[in-house]
């Protein structure tokens, strides 16, 4: 070992790996059971995770509203299954989210989050809008400072928060999670955690392909979300699913990747999508007729059939329209009323990066939604919420490694679980982890060689003078994934991509000038592992699955439900890959 690295030992009952929405919710719930709870967070829980700069909507079944419509929780579940997932979903986990998120929204209100508004005509004084389903089912709320309030609540309950530590290894003893290792991104120290149970909630896998603008970090998903949880699970031999469903680039705000989701989500009801001549491509929406709530029962099946057939505000394929010479496209709010535009600006300010975006538009561009249109351009590719990639867990969110639970975007199987999945899975995982920890008296031993191996690896990068800069390696990996696992994939190109990725991995001798650069090197190692899963899973799935994933194999152009209506799980076993198919319940 060329340089010395201090090891900090931390013992706790429940270790939450990742302090985003799911991690904070897990910690808050676990704290109710008289156990010691610790969050290890790569950034700072005040602003970490997908919702680090805000979230303005979260879907749920809301009994006091939906029962008056005659719309049941089973209707919501069927909407999500057919409209969002096209049947490719873990219905048991979906039911957990649908059934419990209303209560979690009420918990957020107790933590200081505003979800009721005096000007609302809706029962409960909520603001409820369309997002994914045939009926309005998403809370619109003040979520710009949600992470600040969750952090405050966790600290109030006695949760220990260790910020600026990137977790890199999960230690398993006799089939049970026993410890975890991390590296301080400010102090460069190695953190060795022992715990009785663990919750994995590190978020999505980002930075797998280049930013479409060429600007590093300009992605819709925060740059710190590099699939660390999936990489740790994969290295520990756990199965990971849906890694083949790396998306093509969506269309949204050009040059400033933001989750607006026209014509629904954050920019309803006034937003339309129009072309260069002002002709409507996607019409604006309307708010639900709340004064007439309950006067007429809905036909959920008929409404669903209409949406599946391309009715009401269906999104076109902008990429296909562009290839037909029909661009450019614009987000157009100019037909909205003053009241509608003010509502939309409020909503944008509460969504991730939204307040910065509005300030930029108004103060630097002199932009005004009342008279100006925003060009709709491709965004960077991502492992989107549609993919629902992540760990395989049971209905209590526990993985096949005892004592290891998953939560939020680290759990596979529910497309666009989003914030509701984080709230509900985090709560359930925290509860189950705390109960198991309370029943276990002693810590399990961990392999000391793992600590020494990480010390040697980090020391080597910090001492290296001739290693590669992390950015050089990241760009090489991104280019491989973007080309060989592109919009259309095939066996020969995927195999070549794997050869090139293997060559990068063999020659990626990193150098780091300081702990921050060391973190970036470790992130790139996570990206490499995630890239390998993308390429290998893409090669193994021998079909195309157009909806909802846009997964196209040129050599297997048809969807094959008989053989492939299943989650494809891959794991590392004795340095070899092992694949299995998990049938999807219908």
Q: Rounded to an integer, what distance in angstroms lies between the CA atom of residue 182 and that of residue 8?
A: 10
Q: How far lies 413's CA from each of 240, 291, 387, 394, 416, in Å?
A: 10, 37, 8, 11, 10
For 453-494, write each residue's pLDDT tens digit: 999 999 999 999 999 999 999 999 999 999 999 999 999 999
Taking the C-alpha atoms of residue 38 and residue 496, their distance in angstroms, rounded to an integer, is: 43
pLDDT tens digit sequence for 65-87: 999 999 999 999 999 999 999 99
| pTM score of the predicted model | 0.97
DSSP conformation class of 316: P
165-173: strand order across its sheet: 7-11, 190-194, 176-184, 165-173
Range 1-55+143-249+383-586: architecture per CATH: 3-Layer(bba) Sandwich (3.50)
Map out the domains of the chain as residue ranges. 1-55+143-249+383-586, 251-378
- Reduced to 3 states (helix: H, G, I; strand: E, B; else coil), residue 402 is strand
Q: What is the pLDDT of residues 89-143, one digit of tens each?
A: 999 999 999 999 999 999 999 999 999 999 999 999 999 999 999 999 999 999 9
- pLDDT tens digit sequence for 151-166: 999 999 999 999 999 9
- Given CA atoms 382, 144, 231, 469 in this order, what sign does their dihedral have? positive
- For residue 438, report the phi and psi dihedrals to the nearest 5 degrees: -65, -30
Answer yes or no: same fold for 1-55+143-249+383-586 and 251-378.
no
Range 251-378 has CATH code 3.40.1350: no
Residue 94 and residue 80 in contact, taking contact as beta carbons nearer than 8 Å = yes
Whether cis (ω within 30° of 0) applies to the bond prior to 269 is yes
Q: Are strands 176-184 and 373-378 parallel, antiparallel or unpaired?
A: unpaired
Percent of the chain's residues with pLDDT above 70: 98
* Residue 317, pLDDT score: 82
Residue 300 confidence (pLDDT) above 60: yes
Query: What confidence category does residue 259 fall into, taking pLDDT thresholds of 50, 70 and 90?
Result: confident
């Amino acid at each position: 070992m060329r340089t010395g690295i201090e090891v900090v030992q931390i013992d706790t009952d429940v270790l939450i790996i990742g302090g985003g929405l799911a991690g904070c919710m897990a910690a808050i719930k676990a704290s109710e059971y008289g156990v010691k709870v610790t969050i290890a967070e790569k950034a700072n829980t005040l602003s970490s995770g997908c919702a680090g700069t805000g979230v303005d909507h979260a879907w749920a079944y809301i009994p006091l509203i939906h029962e008056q419509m005659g719309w049941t929780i089973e209707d919501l579940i069927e909407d999500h299954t057919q409209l969002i997932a096209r049947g490719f979903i873990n219905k048991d986990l979906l039911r957990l989210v649908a059934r419990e998120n209303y209560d979690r929204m009420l918990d957020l209100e107790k933590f200081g989050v505003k979800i009721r508004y005096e000007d609302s005509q809706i029962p409960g004084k909520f603001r409820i809008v369309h997002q994914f389903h045939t009926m309005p089912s998403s809370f619109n709320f003040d979520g710009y400072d949600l992470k600040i309030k969750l952090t405050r609540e966790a600290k109030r309950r006695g949760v220990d928060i260790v910020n600026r530590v990137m977790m890199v290894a999960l230690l398993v003893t006799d089939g049970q999670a026993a410890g975890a290792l991390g590296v301080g991104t400010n102090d460069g120290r190695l953190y060795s955690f022992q715990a009785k149970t663990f919750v994995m909630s590190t978020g999505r896998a980002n930075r797998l392909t280049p930013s479409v603008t060429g600007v590093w970090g300009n992605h819709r998903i925060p740059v710190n979300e590099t699939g660390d949880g999936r990489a740790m699970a994969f290295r520990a031999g756990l199965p990971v699913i849906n890694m083949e469903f790396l998306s093509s680039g969506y269309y949204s705000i050009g040059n400033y990747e933001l989750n607006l989701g026209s014509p629904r989500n954050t920019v309803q009801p006034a937003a339309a999508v129009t072309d260069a001549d002002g002709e409507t491509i996607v019409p604006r929406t309307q708010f639900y007729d709340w004064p007439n709530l309950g006067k007429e029962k809905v036909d959920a099946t008929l409404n669903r059939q209409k949406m599946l057939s391309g009715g009401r505000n269906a999104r076109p394929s902008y990429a296909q329209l562009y290839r037909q010479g029909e661009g450019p496209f614009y987000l157009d709010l100019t037909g909205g009323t003053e009241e509608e535009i003010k509502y939309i600006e409020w909503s944008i300010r509460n969504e991730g990066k939204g307040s910065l975006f509005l300030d930029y538009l108004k103060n630097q561009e002199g932009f005004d939604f009342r008279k100006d249109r925003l060009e709709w351009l491709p965004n960077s590719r991502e492992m989107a919420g549609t993919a629902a990639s992540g760990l395989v867990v049971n209905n209590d969110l526990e993985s096949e490694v005892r004592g290891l639970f998953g939560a939020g975007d680290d759990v596979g199987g529910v497309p666009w679980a989003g914030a509701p999945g984080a709230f509900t899975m985090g709560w359930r995982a925290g509860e189950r982890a705390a109960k198991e920890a309370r029943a276990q008296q002693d810590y399990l031993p961990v392999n000391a060689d793992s600590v020494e191996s990480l010390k040697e690896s980090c020391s080597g990068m910090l001492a290296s003078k001739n290693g590669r800069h992390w950015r050089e390696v990241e760009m090489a990996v991104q280019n491989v994934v973007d080309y060989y696992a592109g919009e259309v994939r095939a066996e020969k190109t995927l195999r070549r991509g794997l050869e090139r990725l293997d060559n990068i991995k063999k020659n990626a001798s990193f150098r780091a000038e300081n702990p921050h650069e060391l973190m970036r090197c470790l992130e790139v190692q996570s990206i490499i592992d995630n890239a390998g899963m993308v390429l290998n899973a893409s090669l193994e799935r021998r079909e195309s699955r157009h909806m909802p994933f846009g997964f196209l194999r040129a050599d297997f152009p048809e969807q094959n439900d008989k053989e492939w209506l299943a989650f494809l799980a891959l794991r590392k076993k004795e340095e070899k890959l092992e694949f299995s198919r998990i049938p999807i319940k219908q």
